Structure 1
Amino acid sequence: MAEPFVGGEYVEVTGMGRISVVDPASGEEVDTVPLCGDEEVDRAVESAREALAGWQGMPASRRGEILAEAARAVMERRDELAPLLTAEQGKPLREARIEIRRFVLTLEHYAGLAKNIRGGYVPDLDEGAYGMILRRPLGVVGAIVPWNFPTTLLGNKLGPALITGNAVVAKPAETTPLTTLRIAGIMHEAGLPAGVFNVVTGDGPTTGQALVEHPLVRKVAFTGSTPVGRKLAALAAGELKRATLELGGSDPMIVCDDADLDRAASAASVGRFFNCGQACLAVKRLYVFESVAEELVEKLVGKVKKLRVGPGTEEGVMIGPLHTPRQRELVEGQVEDAVSSGAEVLAGGKRPDGREKGNFYEPTLLLEPSHDSRVAMEEVFGPALPIWKVSDLDEAIERANSSVYGLGSSIWTRDLDRATEAAERIEAGYTWINSPQIVYDELPFGGWKQSGYGKEHGIEALEYYTETKSVVVRRSS
């Protein structure tokens, strides 16, 4: 039985019962973890608070060295961690290895920024006086991480939080806590001081709420759905806590009549169906110029029909199961609604034959559902992609901006003017031009509209884990 990681060790707690962690491919129990309540969360937060003085008092360069060493230790254990991630989340082993590597790269990136944390100096404020701008850590940070990329999205929070001198209490999703717990132990073994990184387990209403409301937690970093993000923001606002919210998305992809259609079709397939479509930044709406729609759709259908569905441990599998039965039912309902609104099913649209166990669903393409159907209006968190034909760039951008979400977006065109116009007009925090949907640590990432606020990645993320303080110094003579 797995246990929370607090103060540099795994601690056995009574909690409020235990939660079963289930393999999405088989429905079998992998392990159990405790449902932590107020007492367990308080213990973890106190451990983080006690660690703050030593961690903050350490030179930033030394924090960077420790973080880099901890990241290397995780990478050395990737072959141990990847099967555990596949077992609890469902993704193919290849994708699990990619995710562990992505976590490590993010920690290494922020370890390298350790010497770039700077304040400021303002001369001649007044006669005989100058000013300093100090940058200080916030204190204890609560990191609440979802189930779709439990390690990648942890790294987005852990890297900037730790390098700026904060201590972290993480709460992974109740369905995917195991890899996070193991990583915490590995990082401590590699030299991360006790209490700097703690992990509590449990659900959102109990454990997550206790963490957000704890009076010693000064910042909450959350990735998840927009409805849950709204509730979390309200809780954090009660004590004016800092919050970074990376929420839902319904990312549009525009394919113009001058695009490289082979590359665009590949990007649409990977961008939609990676991780079984369970990604905030997945391609979720495809708008294609009418003159090339038939050709692009033909290429895309060909690619999608080659995608093999099955357990993540099977050789050659490219799409694993959806994470939970409820998630599959949600996607099925969205597809059924699209078909009832007039959509043509070009591929998929059903559970695969011969896969009675597990939460499997075929990769699905839907042509021309209604613009007020659920797949157009809601976030589709699974392997279904709606496709619409558009007459020109103006119509494509208008449709792209019709969503309440504004996370990512992409356009495929050889025309620099079109690309520039799309980058300027699409209401999203990220736009890829002739590029697959890869997020880079060097660039700030965050949503517009109901996709959240605050930035992860980039040096900008450091601002969300520090406070600035102004100091006036007057010379004595």
Structure 2
Amino acid sequence: MLYINGEWITDGNKMDVINPATGKVIDSVTIGGREETKEAITHATEAFKTWKNIPGAKRGRYLATVVKLMREKREILAETITRENGKPFSDARGEVRSAIDYLEWYAEEAKRLYGDTLPASQVDKHLMVLREPIGVSAAITPWNFPLSMITRKIAPALAAGCTVVLKPASQTPLSAIKVFECFHEAGIPKGVVNLVIGPAEEIGKEMTSNPDVRKLTFTGSTAIGKKLMRDAADTVKKVSMELGGHAPFIVFEDADIDEAVTGVLLTKFKNSGQTCISTNRIYVAESIVEEFGKRLAQKTAELRIGNGMEDGVDVGPVINKGAMEKIAAQVEDAVKNNGKILQGGNIHKPEEGSGYFYEPTVIQYATEEMQIATEETFGPVAPIFPFSSEEEVIEKANHKQYGLAAYCYTKDMGCGLRMMKALEYGIVGINDPAPIVIQAPFGGVKESGIGKEGGKYGLEEYMEEKFVSIGMK
């Protein structure tokens, strides 16, 4: 279904939605293209004229109503995520909580959009800086967090006074439909939020070329992000891009091995390794690398793989067959380059039905020559690289292309502080495998992105500064 100007559109071409745990069609949805996107932008442009002038406190109350509705529907929202994305139901519940938290945070922040009064350089002038909403915002969200990525973009936009046209990932449109049902039920005015499902090329072209769109926000691959930036340059749009990652996880000799192993399990195998901040390269001090690999393999073997709707499942499917085959190719390349598989290493065939599963895998003796050392692995594969010195691991950990998230385990506070400064990443967790919180900025450096989401930083992405100088003669 499409949602344009407060109306649901159900007529038109359809697209099937596949459950990656079974490979079967679970639903079909109406799709649109460039014309529907243009129509949505037109309505968003008209709605912006009114929405931007609504007091922030009132905009916040609309968001608070959506929060209430999503809390009431949290179980069906979580089930929808698992059915179309595949992640374990417990993880889907966590995503719903996160999605609600973003809405609640920005519902409160909507009334705190402050400007500034500047000290004048002349006695007969009064200087001010106003912060105003940028305008119609186009948002493109990914399939790996099909609900929370929507609210992380829409909530600050609406709080700031912007209107939105959203394109969700084609693999996971059902979660978007569910949250837009909540927007509709909350009575958000027509044209303020619009949903367009369909082919990325057509919808993206209209979003980037339409001059009425003043902001483009995207979460996805670096390659697609670069293309969107190039296309958006013709109309000089403001962009925020949360792109690919290749997170290092560094374990020093003095670290608590069991705590570090637990950290890897959380950062590597959650969502089957399909997150942009997933650990991709595990660097372990040579003196403990054998013991670390042994303990990680033991814990990895205990993970239960299966359909996310089954009780006790830790690792669900990957999103599709192509993703599964890419993971298998990277593992095969690692073995050819003398990597030793300590656990897993195979495509998983469920006892019943089909689906796209890959075993949680641990590879010892990883080297820089392997594909897995430089290419982002969107899957449950944990390669272990030994290192001998702090200087060596800093050089290896700082990826030339990526700079989203990095992790480090050590009991030496001095070492931790040095790593904090040396690691060229937008997010650094020192002895912390879960450094993401609502109030903090989320985003990368280098080719991992531009701009931030979360906290006051995410709100600023949807605002522009207007300087006003008043003569008082």
TM-score, normalised with respect to structure 1: 0.96
Name the structure 2 match of 1:316.
Answer: 312
Q: Secondary structure at the match of 2:405?
A: coil
Which residue is equivalent to 2:109? 113
- Residue in structure 2 matching 1:342, options 321, 329, 338: 338
Partner of 1:273 in structure 2? 269
Tell me how far 1:317 sits from its aligned partner: 0.8
Deviation at 1:107, TM superposition (A): 1.1
Matches within 5 A, 1:382-461: 382-461=379-458
* Distance verdict in 2 for CA 1:347–1:42, change over 3 Å: same
What CA distance in whole angstroms lies between the structure 1 residues aligned with 2:283 and 2:107?
40
AA in 2 matched with 1:221? T
Q: 1:35 aligns with which of 31, 38, 41?
A: 31
Q: Is 1:136–2:132 an aligned residue pair?
A: yes
Whether the aligned pair in 1 keeps the contact of 2:33 and 2:199 (CA below 8 Å) is: no
Q: Distance in 1 between matches of 2:256 and 2:200?
A: 44
CA distance in 2, matches of 1:68, 1:292: 50
Provide the rounded CA distance (Å) in 2 between the counterparts of 1:232 and 1:13: 29
Farther-moved stretch of structure 1 (177-186 vs 117-126): 117-126
CA distance in 2, matches of 1:171, 1:13: 18
CA offset digits 1:68-127 (Å, max 9, x no partner): 221221121011111111111111111111111100001111112123211111132323
Quick check: 1:255 aligned with 2:251? yes
**1:150 aligned residue (143, 146, 151):** 146
2:9 to 11, 30, 40: 11
Is the 1:125–1:131 contact (alpha carbons within 8 Å) kept by the matching residues of 2?
Answer: no
Alignment partner, residue 240 of structure 1:
236
Q: What is the match of residue 359 of structure 1?
A: 356
What is the CA deviation profile of residues 221-248 of structure 1, one whole-angstrom value per residue up to 9, with x for unaligned ones?
A: 0000011111011011111011100000
Does the CA-based 8 Å contact 1:86-1:96 persist in structure 2? yes
* Cα distance in 1 for residues equivalent to 2:84 and 2:295: 34
Query: What is the aligned partner in structure 2 of residue 376 from structure 1?
Result: 373
Alignment equivalent of 1:180, drawn from 176, 180, 194: 176
Moved over 6 A (4+): none
Q: State how far apart, in whole Å, the 1-side matches of 2:57 and 2:390 are.
A: 48
State the alpha-carbon separation in 2 of the partners of residues 184 and 5 from structure 1.
8
Q: Which residue of 221, 224, 229 corresponds with 1:228? A: 224
SS of residue matched to 1:21? strand
| Per-residue deviation, 1:274 | 0.2
1:327 aligns with 2:323: yes
**Separation in 1 of the partners of 2:129 and 2:164?**
25
Alpha-carbon distance, 1:403 to partner: 4.3
Find the residue that maps to 1:127 and give its secondary structure: coil
Change (3 A) 1:344 1:403: farther
User: What is the rounded CA distance, in whole Å, between the counterparts of 2:400 and 2:311 in structure 1?
Assistant: 38
Counterpart AA for 1:239: T
Tell me how far 1:13 sits from its aligned partner.
4.2
Distance, in Å, in 1 between the alignment partners of 2:310 and 2:323 is 22
List alignment gaps of at least 5 residues for structure 2: none
| Post-superposition offset of 1:449 | 1.1
* Structure 2 match to 1:98: 94
**Partner of residue 67, structure 2:** 71
Contact 2:34 2:205 in 1 (8 A): no
Amino acid at match of 2:199: D
Cα separation, 2, equivalents of 1:313 and 1:381: 21
**Tell me, what secondary structure is at the counterpart of 2:347?**
coil
Counterpart of 2:216 in 1: which secondary structure? strand
Q: Give the Cα separation in 1 of the matches to 2:445 and 2:337.
A: 29
**How far 1:218 sits from its partner (Å)?**
0.7
Is 2:328–2:347's contact at 8 Å kept on the other side of the alignment?
no
Distance 2:433 2:120 in 1: 49
Matched letter for residue 333 of structure 1: A
Counterpart-to-counterpart distance in 1, 2:11 and 2:234: 29
Q: Deviations over 1:117-173 (max 9, x none)?
A: 111111323231111111111111001001111111112211211100001111000
Distance 1:58 1:73 in 2: 22
**Deviations 1:399-428 (CA, angstroms, capped at 9, x unpaired):** 101342100001111111100000000110
SS of the residue 1:316 aligns to: coil
Pairwise CA distance, 1:361: 0.8
Q: What letter is aligned with 2:471?
A: R
- Determine if contact 2:3/2:195 at 8 Å carries over to the other structure: yes
Amino acid at match of 1:389: P
What do the CA deviations read for 1:319-365 (whole angstroms, capped 9, x no partner)? 11000111111111111111111110111110224456000110011
Structure 1 residue 203, shift from structure 2 partner: 2.4
How many positions carry a matched residue from both structures? 472
Q: Does 1:170 align with 2:166?
A: yes
In the alignment, the residues of structure 2 paired with residue 203 and residue 107 of structure 1 have an alpha-carbon distance, to the nearest angstrom, of 28
* Aligned amino acid, residue 44 of structure 1: A
RMSD, aligned CA:
1.3
Kindly state the Cα deviation for residue 192 of structure 1 after the two structures are TM-superposed: 2.2
Runs (5+) with no aligned partner, structure 1: none
Q: What letter corresponds to residue 262 of structure 2 in structure 1?
A: S
Quote the Cα distance in structure 2 between the aligned partners of 1:464 and 1:200.
Answer: 22
8 Å contact from structure 1 (residues 281, 437) kept in 2:
no
Task: Give aligned-pair identity as a percent.
Answer: 39
Residue of structure 2 aligned with 1:288, choices 284, 287, 297: 284
